[in-house]
Amino acid sequence: MDHYHAFFDLKPGTKDLDFARNLARFLEHLKAQSLIEGWQLTRRKLGLGPRELGEFHCVMQTQNLAQLERAFARVSARAEPVESRHFDVNRFAANLTFALYRDFPDPGRREGEEKF
């Protein structure tokens, strides 16, 4: 499983629960289209965490990079019905940082033949 992370703040004046509902609408649409496997939204607690990562964190799970690429292709087409849903999320996010992680150890990992 690959985990696509987005760390961000909300733009001033954005209602946090409205944003959360819009994010759910967008990501559940991608999930219904089998473009992601799942997602989760979290918020920094008690101010603990690096400021540069933002107050919010969203992680989207995909089976592999091929599925993630299909999701990117669909969203980057900037066509309905996904465009309005993406806009309703993207316009309220600021200071975005992205990261991509994978489950470890990898399912195909072998031991004993490593050179490093």
3-state secondary structure 31-85: HHCCCCCEEEEEECCCCCCCHHHCCEEEEEEECCHHHHHHHHHHHHCCCCCHHHH
- CATH number for 2-46+59-102 (one of 3.20.20.70, 3.30.70.100, 3.90.700.10, 3.40.50.720): it is 3.30.70.100
Predicted TM-score of the model (pTM):
0.91
Mean pLDDT computed over 86-105: 96
Contact at 8 Å (CB) between 6 and 68? no
Mean pLDDT of the chain: 96
Mean pLDDT computed over 13-31: 98
The whole-number pLDDT of residue 108 equals: 86
67 vs 113, residue with greater confidence? 67
- Return the closest-CA partner of residue 87 out of 17, 30, 23, 39: 23
Q: pLDDT at residue 71 above 90? A: yes
